[in-house]
Structure 1
Amino acid sequence: MRRLRVMARAIARLRALAGVGTLGALAVCGGADAQDRASLLPATSAVPPPASVGPARSAANSLMLNGFTLAGELTQGGWLRGSVPRGTRALTLDGQPLAFSPDGRFLAAFDRDAGASAVLSATLADGRQVSAPLAIAPRAWQIEHVAVGKRPGAAPSAEFERRRPLELAQINTARAMDTGAQGWTQDFIWPVRGRISGRFGSQRIYRGEPGAYHSGLDIAPGGGVPFVAPADGVVILAAQAPFTLEGNLLMIDHGMGLNSAFLHSARLLVKQGDVVRQGQVLGLVGMTGRATGPHLHWSIKWKDRRLDPLLFVAGGGAR
């Protein structure tokens, strides 16, 4: 709720300055700079436009635009929760079908490299279409330019080549599961507190050639420290033996296509199929798999989009 109150106050300031309504992708701790703000573009609809066009502040924690109720972090790696206009029978994001609950709530999210805009579109029972164009704020990622080329890695071992396809198949099967979990509706909490040793989206450029970006958030509280569920969910994968890269891998489905993965655990305390509650201990921080020290690598995906865990928790926010 603190994020939403801060967002609402920032929206009011921005509207006063710019003369238009905006939905900010704002940090909980004091807001965000201009580069990290996201706005709602002028609203359009296919036929005919509603009587009131443009966002209006309806409560301390949301904005309304053409019948949509919207709140979230409209930025690369961010997310959006909302409710559809009354009478909606179909919903799309950029032309792709988007699920919504029987009471009209939905979740959408934006990849690390998402473009500058997206469009929500609802088809109403009478055939009308109502749209909400969104502006997705760019992020200033932590980029390191290296003056040398990429070093070729060691050739994968025969054991790795044998095991890795089986591990990836388990991960893909888990991500395809729909458990009906409702954690996606909650405000997430930190799974563990500690030093941030790696940020989502950080990347090295080797003489102009991009390396893979970091797909999660690394938290280093020390080995053996318990970590907890950031939101309600269902365990969709609990490695029975350490994976080659991820080590003791745990995956939690939060519903609506949103899932968390926790890597390198020393020990897992839940099993596949378990229903877990926010704050429940899931395992112990470790350094199994490919890790140089004990830490929790926490990644979040919505469908095939990688998201920034910092944008889901208090004290995070676009950076």
Structure 2
Amino acid sequence: MIRFASLMCVSGPLLLLAGSCVGDPSRQVDKAADVAVVQPLPSPATASVPAPAPTPQPAPVPIRIVEAAGPTTFVYVGQLTQGGWIRGQAPGRTVSATLNGQKLDLDQEGRFFAAFDRDAGTSATLSAQLRDGRVVESPLIVSNRRWNIERVNLARNRSGASEAFMRRRRPELAQINAARKVDADSSGWSQDFIWPVTGRISGRFGSQRIYAGVPGSYHSGIDIATGRSGTPYVAPADGVVTLATPTPFSLEGYLLIIDHGQGLNSAFLHNSKIVVKQGDEVKKGQYIGNIGSTGSATGPHLHWSLKWRDKRLDPLLFTGPMN
């Protein structure tokens, strides 16, 4: 045990350490301040005990971010022909995808729907931008079709529609265009479509008249005649009603439009009755209306047309032959 004692040194100020006077000639003194500078001594408790070695820490485990792998390129099925369609899945880690530059809607699994207009070219390209910056492309071959062309050796009336007719027609077209632009939350696009009704096909998609060398508008859908008005028909796939006219339109009559999601929609013309309303969700096979001859029609039939964005499609390529 160290004891401090009270001693007097005659040679300088009193400074005691461990019972000895530090006013001896060996001390270090700052002459300017006349203060003794004493080097600290190690603590008795720790002077002879080495510091403990640090405990080794385990190396950090890297965090792995796992993403859905998905396919390495586009995979798809469908009808690669004019008026046809494809359903598929984009490559894994796709950020955005296009068909010939037109953006595709991708669901959470990277699935998409796309289609080819009646007058589409013979080649197309699917393109995907991946998260790491790479681009994956899949070239497609789109087959030509031979359309039913009727040539009439008479000049078509070029006078056009009257202003009185267009005053009525413009609001109708505005409603049709708005209904076709609705992006409904439906998965009907992914289903196998069924025929809304069976009967005689009295008008085929894509058929066209040419008047004295000048092409007229081609037939934009398929006509199904059952021989009588009032025949009920059903939804060919799930969807959301985006237009159900309470009064007949000038050309379409009572018109019903159903959005199947992903930009795909069906229109049903010349109805005698519509039993669903705008905003209703309908299921595949659900009764939705009755065939008629309202609007510009020469007899009772169902005109069914399909569009994907601005592309007109052949319903026959969605259903296959009628049983």
Q: TM-score, normalised by structure 2?
A: 0.75
Q: 1:175 aligns to what?
A: 180
Which letter maps to 1:121? S
Tell me which of the two structures has the higher relative contact order, counting C-alpha pairs closer than 8 angstroms and 6 or more residues apart: 1
Gapped runs of 5+ residues in structure 2? 1-69
Question: Quick one: distance in 2 between partners of 1:286 and 1:205?
Answer: 28
SS at match of 2:224: strand
Which among 121, 131, 145 is matched to residue 125 of structure 1? 131
CA positional deviation for 1:66: 5.3
Shift in CA distance, 149/66, structure 1 to aligned 2, threshold 3 Å: farther
Question: Quick one: distance in 1 between partners of 2:74 and 2:220?
Answer: 31
Identical columns (%): 61
Q: How many residues are matched?
A: 252
Q: 1:236 aligns to what?
A: 242
CA positional deviation for 1:65: 8.8
1:257-296 paired onto structure 2 within 5 Å: 257-296=263-302
Which among 312, 315, 320 is matched to residue 314 of structure 1? 320
Q: Establish whether residue 99 from structure 1 lines up as the match of residue 144 from structure 2.
A: no
Which letter maps to 2:115? A
CA positional deviation for 1:175: 1.1
Q: 1:191 aligns to what?
A: 196
Q: What is the CA RMSD across the aligned residues, in angstroms? A: 1.6
The answer to whether the Cα contact below 8 Å between 2:205 and 2:314 also exists between their aligned partners in 1 is: yes
The answer to whether the Cα contact below 8 Å between 2:115 and 2:308 also exists between their aligned partners in 1 is: yes
Shift in CA distance, 135/224, structure 1 to aligned 2, threshold 3 Å: same
Question: Quick one: distance in 2 between partners of 1:289 and 1:220?
Answer: 16
Which letter maps to 2:180? R
Give a deviation string over 1:8-27, Cα, whole Å, max 9, x none: xxxxxxxxxxxxxxxxxxxx
SS at match of 1:266: strand
Largest Rg, 1 or 2: 2
SS at match of 2:289: strand
CA positional deviation for 1:68: 1.4
CA positional deviation for 1:161: 2.5
Which letter maps to 1:191? P
Structure 1 residue runs of 4 or more that deviate by more than 4 Å after TM superposition: 152-155
Gapped runs of 5+ residues in structure 1? 1-63
Which among 295, 298, 309 is matched to residue 304 of structure 2? 298
Question: Quick one: distance in 1 between partners of 2:72 and 2:202?
Answer: 42
Q: Establish whether residue 202 from structure 1 lines up as the match of residue 207 from structure 2.
A: yes
Q: TM-score, normalised by structure 1?
A: 0.76
